[in-house]
Chain A
Amino acid sequence: MSARLVNRGLDALTWLVLALMLSPILWLVLSSLQTDGQLSRGAYDLLSPTFDAFTRMWQSVDFERYLLNSLIICTAAALCATAFAACAGYALARFQFRGGKALSLGVVGTQLIPGSLFLLPVFMGFVWLKQNTPIALFDTHLGMVLVYTAFFTPVAIYFMRYFFIAIPRDLEEAAMVDGCNRFGAFVKIVLPAAAPGLVATFVYAFLFAWDELLFVAALTQENAETIPIGIRNFIGNYQERTAQLMAAGVVSTLPVLIAFFATQRWLVKGITAGAVKG
């Protein structure tokens, strides 16, 4: 009897914790449905929501441009990182070669370098290229894609390696017996089998690129600015328009939230891969 009571209590506690964790998100959505005036006076009227803040926000800042930039840059960078990682991860998972261990260590090592150390030379290099050559990297989509690809490939390799290890070798060997070469087997057999892994890696890289502020703040000026910069500029110009700010927050969370819920089963598998294997 008492064990059942304890169980009930723990169930309730779980739901309570969940509610606490979700409440800030709920608050974000609720306040985006109010007007700026209501929020600045603290007089909420939760019963009469309005999408006013969304339309106003859309007009007052060029949010569409930031959103588009973010989508283009993050998608391209995540695609490149996943493609590189698929090749490197496959090599690490299947072949023993000299320096393989050093490469794995290097993958972890790259996470150790603070962005700021990395950022200054990249910034100077981009500016130098802009001044002295026709190669346009500073404040362009291409430049940001390059930086992000370099940034997220190491983690992506770690992800992909795990997914490839989970695919039995016999599959490729059978394909090779049937007349495929190594590359053919990789493209036709291994990649489709690793599709969930590819999706997970892509979404993971996308999430991180979406979140990145430091590099995009330094390396862009106007053309390639992404959502975080849009938000920062918005705060600078219209600090008191809280409802619009919250609306911008909702809009910039939605794409990643959708991407996450669509792929969460594989994504969670990828994240926890390290945990189960140790």
Chain B
Amino acid sequence: MVLVHLIPTTGGILLSFKRLNTFTFSRLFDAPWSGLENYRGILFDTANPLHDGFFGAVQNTFVYTFWTVGGTIVGGLAIALLLNRPMRGQRLVRTLMLTPWIVPSFVVAVLWGFMWQSDVGIVNKILVDYTGLLGERPIWLLGENSMWAIVIPSIWRGLPFAMIFFLAGLQAMPQELHEAAAIDGAGPLRRFRYITLPLLRPLIAVQLLFCVIYAAYQFAIPYIMLGSNPGPDADLMMTLIVRQSFSNNLFGFGAAASVLLTLAMCVWVAVWYRAFKRDLEAT
């Protein structure tokens, strides 16, 4: 199993040092070496159009990841708290709440792409025609708003998973602590701050780790909703890499950018590990 992953990964890293494009593709594994040329072009060559594209995508991926992960975790926690109360139809609500997670992401993209449409989309119909919250119709799928057009569906789809994860943690939590604190006069907010949150910390840590990786590697939602080139405001790392590799045949660039993305994730894991080391050891 390790082998199956290791060989292509090594291949990918090697590839990033080669000059592989339309002309050399037919030679496949014998493509000429180019040393660090791919990396230099991406990182330092300001005349290279790929340079700007790369840094634009880095910035977009950062923004996308930040909002998606933040929204998923905060929203997931809030809904988990809400569902942790005893109520009628509890099991039904919990199960139904998971359904957005089951909807495949390409369907999510198609569906929201339709909902965002400026003229006939339901979002603008509600915001403008029915409630009159906004005076004029925003355009969601182009320009600045397109980032939100992919962030919101991503949260919508990812939230149920975080919710069920936190809910399991909440249910495994010993009730005595809450009762004791309540007797001592701590209100719900303080109980949440000083009991629930610290006990949930390891779970939040795990969610954070995987949500960030998952969001940074997001591909299907922008690709299906906005097309192979989502435009400078919503072009993520993965859409950029795939477009340059498979539409423009710049495989060397794609491989080099992938390696940089992997390095960024390694840095993230290292930072994460330092921040949450204590919580991991406790469990």
Contact = CB atoms under 8 A, between A and B. Distances in A.
B36 interface: no
B127 interface: no
A124 interface: yes
Contacts of A135: none
A196 interface: no
Interface in B120-164: 120, 122, 125, 156, 159-161, 164
Contacts, number: 223
Contact of B206 (A153, A213, A274): A274
Contacts of B160: 21
A272 B165 contact: yes
A189 interface: no
A165 interface: no
A47 interface: no
Given A18-B97, A272-B168, A275-B166, A249 B210 contact: no
A113 interface: yes
A114 B99 contact: no
A271 B167 CA distance: 11
Contacts of A211: 104-106, 220
A128 interface: yes
Interface string B236-274: 011001100110000100110111011001100100000
B28 A127 contact: yes
Nearest to B251: A120
Interface residues of A, number: 77
A257 B29 CA distance: 42
Interface string A155-195: 00100000000000000000000000000000000000000
A50 interface: no
A246 B206 CA distance: 35
A18 to B, nearest CB: 6
Interface size class of B (residues with CB under 8 A): 35 or more
Given A21-B160, A272-B165, 8 more contacts: A40-B120, A114-B238, A122-B8, A127-B28, A150-B1, A213-B224, A275-B172, A276-B169
24 contacts: A7-B85, A11-B85, A14-B82, A14-B87, A24-B156, A28-B107, A114-B258, A115-B238, A116-B254, A117-B8, A117-B12, A117-B258, A121-B7, A124-B251, A127-B28, A131-B28, A211-B220, A213-B105, A252-B107, A253-B102, A260-B102, A272-B168, A275-B206, A278-B203
Interface of A: 7, 10-11, 13-15, 17-18, 21-22, 24-25, 27-28, 31, 39-42, 84, 88, 103, 106, 110-122, 124-125, 127-128, 131, 150, 153-154, 157, 207, 210-211, 213-214, 217-218, 227-228, 231-232, 235, 242, 245-246, 248-249, 252-253, 256-257, 260-261, 264, 268, 271-272, 274-278
